[in-house]
Structure 1
Amino acid sequence: MNLSNSSKHNTAEFTDTLFCFESLSGSCKKLSQPFSVQTIVFVTGTIIGITVIGNFLVIISIAHFRQLHTPTNYLILSLTTCDLLLGLFVMPLSAAKSAQGCWYMGEFLCKFHTSADITLSTASIFHLTFISAERYCAVYHPLTYHLLIRHISVLLMVTISWLLPTLFGYGVIFTGLNFKGSEDFYYTHIQCIGGCAVFFSGELAVFASFTSFFIPGSIMLWIYSRIYVVVRGQVRSIEHLANQLSRSRQQGSPTSGHCDRKGTATIAIVFGGFLICWAPFFLCLIINPFIEYSINPVLIDVLMWFGYFNSTINPFIYAIRYTWFRAALKIILSGKVFHENTSRIQLSSYE
């Protein structure tokens, strides 16, 4: 999401200031950047490229190999689609705005871009919330897990994760609810030609931040804290049992419980990355209306890209934590993925 405070054109006040449209009255002041445009283009372009390629590889891996068709991976597939769409459609336009300091693509595209940004960011944390709930069932209710988490359950989770954020993101922006109650301030101090600011009134900023970030984040923290207690107890029990087993038994193959614990830890790391990357931005979002939108727009732009960076690092987390992703990556990059019946390959033989 891009939250900025653009000032209107006032030639008496800004004699040495550049504007988006010098010949138009009511033009936005061009945002000055703390480093060169070339650096911005290089950094943002690199982030976009890595985001698109990395998430595309995860999508191919899960979609192609039948061994990976599990409830957790279906949710990861949908989450990764969020990250891919962010890299394809939202980040390039944000990069253009960051580099130019203005928005030159018209009001409708600005609203569409802003709505997509809000939608995908909110959908990501909704997915993570449902993934944490699925992990909770796997750890707390292993015997009834397959009764609780079915394909229809996963479909329902994915549908909710996309539908509610889409209704919120596009509904709020295209209906003007984002500045309801603060119209005078918005039209006087924010709206200008060449700007694409996401403006939230104080009440809506609180509602959006808590609904899209703080409440789901708190739920996930509680779930993972509960899972940690159970997993710690399981590890102690396994260590005690291992001391009583023969050496050959200890070197046996990993149990499903071990896989569940590793999968839970990986998702917890993904959630931690999301929390670290997006928390500063959402804190600015909720604070800014109550300090008369005085936070530096350049700072908010940087925090926005720090949030985007979360979509870039997720594939690397999967590559480090999941042996199946590393095995799938070998097959994809070698071109063997195009061979017949490769979807049935047991990835453990390539680890």
Structure 2
Amino acid sequence: MEPAEVLVFASVLAIIVVSLLSNVLVLICFVYSPEIRKQAPGLFNLNLTFCNLLLTVANMPLTLAALAGSAQPGGDALCRAAGFLETFLSTNSMLSMAALSIDRWVAVVFPLRYHSKMRHRDAALVLGYAWAHSIGFSMAATCLSWLGYHRLYAACTLAAPRDRAGGRTPFVVFTVLFHSFTFLLSLVVLCVTYLKVLKVARFHCRRIDVITMQTLVLLVDIHPSVRQRCLEEQRRRRQRATRKISTFIGTFMLCFAPYVITRIVELFPAVPISPHWGTVSKCLAYSKAACDPFVYSLLRHQYRKTCGDIADRLLKRSRSLNGSGLGVRGGRGGRGGALPRAE
């Protein structure tokens, strides 16, 4: 392999390890914590985690094999099945992110009516649409034989028909519609909802800042260091909201946009695309599976608390096992090695 291919191979391998460990940890937190299970966003996170895990286990290893052997991994039937999974899982994960953004928008804009607007039944209906949407496009691509090994991306995914004269135009139309109703639709939903969330968050920050400044004016004898800490906390609060929104939208754009744009540009045969760029764009799309557990779950307070509880429980159990083992060994040694005292 060339140095660029070795770098991409190592990147995909690292993505597999990080994605597998982080998504499994999210699943453990979901099973362990009843508070996470009883909330509607927990279903969206569970669905997103399921998609990321299946993509990590089923599709990424085939890309590794294709990069290592510079050829299609397995037979045509295996590659078509992997292509179906890749189309379904990528679509489902994008729609799950859009559903999470809608949930956050409802929670911030309608905080008093959130529990009546976003129940488990409502979350199940949203996920039902995501599954129907994903299965519809995947089944259409399967029935039209537009799934197979794509050498440009070293992956089993959507591939143009070999008979370019008769089947090129329908494939172009399908590809444009597919990415418009998955990537573009999800991006629009993310931008609209999160920008509204940011607007509401900034409004609340301004109200808190006004109250804080009025309080600081009334407190004449307040120490300058306390006043400075209050002003610093105001600045951090404003930056925290902007940073979270930028992370949600930025990771989505950074990971998926290069791959989707490459797929659209690929429809124009006159535009050359480097094979190295094709695999890099696919690697970026895979990296979203490793980013999602941290962006949507593990960095949140509830998941951090659950991880801490799990770690404390495991530590206590290991200490109790070690203590009981030492006690048993010590007791046996005491009985077996005791000598009679001289009277």
Given the two structures, how large is their TM-score scaled by the length of structure 1?
0.71
2:267 aligned counterpart, secondary structure: helix
- Other-structure match for 2:280: 302
Q: Does 1:185 align with 2:164?
A: yes
Match of 1:59 among 19, 27, 35: 27
2:190 aligned counterpart, secondary structure: helix
Match of 1:231 among 178, 201, 206: 201
* Distance in 2 (alpha carbons) for counterparts of 1:263 and 1:62: 25
- Other-structure match for 2:18: 50
- Other-structure match for 2:123: 154
The Cα offsets for residues 62-121 of structure 1, whole Å up to 9 and x where unpaired, read as: 232012231123211211221111111111111111221111411111111111111111
Q: Call closer, same or farther: CA 1:90–1:182 in 2, change over 3 Å.
A: closer
Q: What is the CA distance between 1:321 and its match in structure 2?
A: 3.5
- Other-structure match for 2:100: 131
- Other-structure match for 2:177: 207
- The residue type paired with residue 328 of structure 1 is T
Q: Call closer, same or farther: CA 1:263–1:160 in 2, change over 3 Å.
A: farther
Match of 2:68 among 94, 99, 103: 99
1:304 aligned counterpart, secondary structure: helix
The Cα offsets for residues 263-294 of structure 1, whole Å up to 9 and x where unpaired, read as: 99747623421221110110011121123573
- The residue type paired with residue 202 of structure 1 is V
- The residue type paired with residue 48 of structure 1 is I
Could you tell me whether the CA contact under 8 Å between 2:252 and 2:288 is conserved in 1? yes
- Other-structure match for 1:35: 3
Greater fraction of residues in helix: 2
Could you tell me whether the CA contact under 8 Å between 1:111 and 1:173 is conserved in 2? yes
Q: Call closer, same or farther: CA 1:187–1:89 in 2, change over 3 Å.
A: farther
Could you tell me whether the CA contact under 8 Å between 1:71 and 1:154 is conserved in 2? yes
* Distance in 2 (alpha carbons) for counterparts of 1:84 and 1:332: 21
Could you tell me whether the CA contact under 8 Å between 1:266 and 1:318 is conserved in 2? no
Could you tell me whether the CA contact under 8 Å between 1:112 and 1:170 is conserved in 2? no
* Distance in 2 (alpha carbons) for counterparts of 1:167 and 1:122: 10
* Distance in 2 (alpha carbons) for counterparts of 1:273 and 1:122: 16
Answer with 1 or 2: which has the greater Rg.
2
Q: Does 1:82 align with 2:51?
A: yes
Considering only aligned residues, what root-mean-square deviation do their CA atoms show, in Å? 3.5
- Other-structure match for 2:135: 166
Q: Which aligned pairs between 1:266-281 and structure 2 lie closer than 5 A?
A: 266=244, 269-281=247-259
Match of 2:42 among 61, 68, 73: 73
Structure 1 gaps, min length 5: 1-32, 191-198, 252-258, 340-351
Could you tell me whether the CA contact under 8 Å between 2:91 and 2:134 is conserved in 1? yes
- The residue type paired with residue 116 of structure 2 is L
211-220 vs 288-297, which deviates more?
Answer: 288-297
Q: Call closer, same or farther: CA 1:284–1:152 in 2, change over 3 Å.
A: same
The Cα offsets for residues 108-136 of structure 1, whole Å up to 9 and x where unpaired, read as: 11111111111111111101111111111
261-270 vs 36-45, which deviates more?
Answer: 261-270
Q: What is the CA distance between 1:219 and its match in structure 2?
A: 2.3
- Other-structure match for 2:329: none
2:112 aligned counterpart, secondary structure: coil
* Distance in 2 (alpha carbons) for counterparts of 1:142 and 1:244: 26
- Other-structure match for 2:192: 222
Structure 2 gaps, min length 5: 148-157, 220-228, 230-236, 318-343
Match of 2:212 among 239, 242, 259: 242
Could you tell me whether the CA contact under 8 Å between 1:75 and 1:154 is conserved in 2? yes
* Distance in 1 (alpha carbons) for counterparts of 2:272 and 2:30: 45
* Distance in 1 (alpha carbons) for counterparts of 2:57 and 2:50: 10
Q: Call closer, same or farther: CA 1:155–1:240 in 2, change over 3 Å.
A: same
Higher relative contact order (CA 8 A, sep 6+): 1
105-114 vs 37-46, which deviates more?
Answer: 37-46
Match of 1:288 among 263, 266, 289: 266
